Amino acid sequence: MFRGSIMKSKELFERAQRVLPGGVSSPVRRFDPHPFFAAGGKGCILESVDGKSYIDYCLAYGPLILGHAHPRVVEAVERQIERGTTYGVPSEGEIELAETIIDRVPCAEMVRFMNSGTEATMAAVRLARAYTGRDKIVKFEGSYHGAHDYVLVKPGSGAAAAPDSPGIPEDTVKNTLTTVFNDEEAMVELIDGMGDEIACILVEPVMGNIGCIEPENAYLNFLRDVTRENDILLIFDEVITGFRLAAGGAQEYYRVKPDLVTLGKIVGGGFPMGALAGPRQIMENIAPAGSVYQAGTFNGNPVSVTAGLETLKILDDKMYSSLERMGSHLRAGLRDLLSDMDLEYQVAGPASMFQIYFTEDEVRNYADAKKSDTELFMKYFHGLLERGVFIPPSQFECCFISAAHEMDHINSTLEIAEDVLSHLKN
Ligand SMILES: *Cc1c(COP(=O)(O)O)cnc(C)c1O
């Protein structure tokens, strides 16, 4: 479908390594012996410059809930680009997108747009600290909130392999506390005696950067209660789950309303975007309404705004039910296949998120996830890749289904997975 380059992935990677650190622009994209280079994507299919096509369950690590190049999004963006790509003055689309987000996301009454999820969590932490007058923040081992200093403590995603990056002064992260997901006692202990120094708990309602770990029964309700009792702000990092689990994200799906939410990935409709949203009372502290500084040359740029808005317009209840159905079918199918095999495994994920862990025990937190057989996982990854299925090249990422997938794709994926899994042990 797409024309490849004269150079194949292997040569392109050699060339890339001379000018891009590690040959890629973001760490997780690199895998051995070399990543494939994209020639193009359409719907749920991603094509390489080597002329191979893949059913895509990576979907750019989450944003592409409508698949690649949805015609309506492409058309809306083309129309916008003709009229300019960024203005430096406000444009009406920003209001419309904010209104749409407020309409869907329970805790949102006001929105600040920025350019990435990283920026959104950075702003959320600053706002929480300013609002509460406290410095300490709590995150979970294995949660990923972007690549900025304050949150790169026991992180997930590409950093799960080498946590706690050099170059971050100890002083910068001395106020970043970590604890164990799904463990109420550990949280109670942490807050005990220190509760009045903690500005916020920052949590991925479904941990999506250490594979895929769901919150256990009422764990999010517990976080809601414990934060309220201690005047701590509860921040849901919904950069993955926002507009994915449901129109209102995880806070709708699990019926727990946080104080603030960070959004990214899907909200930009395939273009760079991040957003911070919450109640007026807190959000009005952001400059220029208030004094908490946040700014960006490309904030609310009309291209990302247009793509995001069109994407949210297309996403409807029928799509969410269909995504849920495909996810359940795929997870049940994988469990069926694996139950016939001599492998230790867990199949995880809600709605259109999924992952296999090659481990014996249920995965409830970071430590459990780290017990998985990552070598076996990479064999599984390469087996799928050889047969035309692309999932993220890491045990510690999450796989996604898009609205462009159909049951037929899911069923052929299960057939391919059966072949791969049956050959894994030898
Ligand atoms: C991807 C991600 C981020 C960072 O978003 P970027 O746009 O990559 O900066 C933050 N939080 C979560 C939960 C993410 O999955």
Q: Residue 127 domain-assigned? A: yes
Q: Residue 86 domain-assigned? A: yes
Q: Residue 107 domain-assigned? A: yes
Q: In sequence order, what are the beta bridge partners of 62?
A: none
Token pair, residue 261, equals: 């939410």
Ligand 1 centroid, distance to 232 Cα (angstroms): 23
- In 193-340, alpha helices (H): 219-229, 250-253, 280-283, 302-314, 317-339
State mean pLDDT over 200-216. 98
**What are the strands of the beta sheet with 176-179, ordered from one edge?**
110-114, 274-278, 260-263, 233-237, 198-203, 136-140, 176-179
> Which of 61, 145, 236 to mutate for ligand 1's pocket (most ligand atoms within 8 Å of CB)?
145
d(CA 413, CA 389): 7
Q: Is the peptide bond before 302 cis (omega within 30 degrees of 0)?
A: no
Q: Residue 195 domain-assigned? A: yes
User: What's the pLDDT tens digit per position in 142-195?
Assistant: 999 999 999 998 887 776 654 578 999 988 999 999 999 999 999 999 999 899
Reply yes or no on whether the pLDDT at 340 is more than 70. Answer: yes
**Which residues form the pocket of ligand 1, taking CB atoms under 6 Å from any ligand atom?**
116-118, 121, 144-146, 204, 208-209, 237, 239-240, 264, 274
Is the distance from CB of 1 to CB of 53 less than 8 angstroms? yes
What is the number of domains present in the chain?
Answer: 1
Using alpha carbons, select from 342, 310, 309 the residue that is nearest to residue 423: 342
Least confident range of 127-136, 248-257, 334-343:
334-343
Reply yes or no on whether the pLDDT at 113 is more than 70. Answer: yes
pLDDT at 319: 98
Ligand 1 centroid, distance to 57 Cα (angstroms): 17
d(CA 271, CA 416): 31
Range of the domain at 108: 71-314
Instruction: Report percent pLDDT > 70 for the chain.
Output: 98
CATH number, domain containing residue 103: 3.40.640.10
User: What's the pLDDT tens digit per position in 267-307?
Assistant: 999 999 999 999 999 999 999 999 999 999 999 999 999 99
Kindly report the number of other CB atoms within 10 A of residue 415's CB atom: 12
pLDDT at 426: 60
Q: Residue 220 domain-assigned? A: yes
Could you identify the residue written with the tokens 């463990």? 183
Q: Residue 296 domain-assigned? A: yes
State mean pLDDT over 55-82. 98
Is the distance from CB of 50 to CB of 36 less than 8 angstroms? yes
Q: Residue 40 domain-assigned? A: no
- What number does the ligand 1 atom closest to the CA of 272 have? 7
Could you identify the residue written with the tokens 């050889």? 386
pLDDT at 134: 98
- What number does the ligand 1 atom closest to the CA of 157 have? 15
Q: Residue 100 domain-assigned? A: yes
